[in-house]
Every structure is written in structure tokens, then in C-alpha cells.
Amino acid sequence: MSEPGGIKRRFRATTERYLTIAAFEAMRGRYPDAGSRPPAYRQNAFWSRVFVPVYARIPWSVKQKVMKASGMTARGWTPPPREPGTPWRPPAPK
């Protein structure tokens, strides 16, 4: 049986690949004069025709929640607050 971490890695690699290929095509449409070439990747119809369009329709806020709930985001990290005017703080004493 595949280990859970391995399944997650393969899922991430596959979804990233197809989402990136779709983004290449979107960018080629947006910048038609940029001299790019059609990418030459082999593709699987399920991921390109089902997964990518469905993913694109889900709002970013929902995607974020799903990623967090499914353990696709990092744990054990405290991002600094992104509020303008928040002063820099020295590291906490030992």
C-alpha cells in the first residue's frame, strides 16, 4: 500500500502540472506577441478537462480553507502580521 505522504506528493505534483499548463495557455492568450511556443506536454483528459475547470471555478477563499483542512499548508509556522504600520519587533528573549 502506498504511504499517505507519497499519495499527497503525487496528487500535488499532478495537480500543479495541469494547473500550470492551463495557466501557460491563459498567458499565451493574454500576451500573444511575446514569442512563446505551445507547450509540448503529454496530458491526461481527466485532469485537463475535468479537474482544471472545476478548480478554476472555486473561489480562492474556499480553496485556502480546503488546503488548510486537508493538510496541504504548512503547520508550526506563525506568519508575521501583514498590516501596514505594524512595527518591527525584536526577537523574544530566551
Partner 1 sequence: MSERLVVIGGGGAGIAAATIAKRVAPDMKVTLFTEFEDIAYSPCGIPFVHGREIEKFENLFLSTVERYVEDGLDMRMETTVTDLDLDKRTVSFKGQTEGFDKLVIATGFVWEKPSVPGANLDGLHYVKNIRQAMEFDKLLDDMKKAVVIGATPLGVEMAGNLGHRGLEVHFVDEGPWALHEVLDPDVAQPVHESLEKRGVTLHFGTTLNEFLGDGNGRVRAVSTSAGEIECDVVIVCLHKLPNNDLAAAAGVKVGSTGGIMVNERMETSVPGVWAAGDVIEVPHGLTLIPIRGLTGSHAYAQGRTAGANAAGEHRAYDPVWVPWGLVGGDYTIGGFSLGETLATAVGVPYVVAKGVGVSRARYFPGATRTNVKLLAEPGTLKLIGAQIHGGEGVKERCDFLAFTAKRGATLHDIAWMENIYSPPIGALFEPMAIAAQNGLAELKKAGQL
The DSSP call for residue 32 is T
Nearest to partner 1 of 45, 82 (CB atom): 82
Which residue in 25, 63, 28 sits closest to 43, CA to CA?
Answer: 25
Number of residues written out for the chain: 94
CB 30, min distance to partner 1, A:
7
For cell 485532469, what's the residue?
Answer: 47
Least distance to partner 1, CB of residue 49, Å: 17
**Contacting positions for partner 1 (CB under 8 A):** 5, 8-9, 12, 16, 19-20, 22-24, 26-28, 30-31, 34-41, 55-56, 58, 60, 63-64, 67-68, 72-84, 86, 91-92, 94
In the complex, the smallest distance separating the C-beta of residue 45 from partner 1, rounded to whole angstroms, is: 19
Nearer to partner 1, 1 or 35 (CB): 35
Q: How many Å is the Cα radius of gyration of the chain?
A: 19
51 neighbors 18 (Cβ within 8 angstroms):
yes
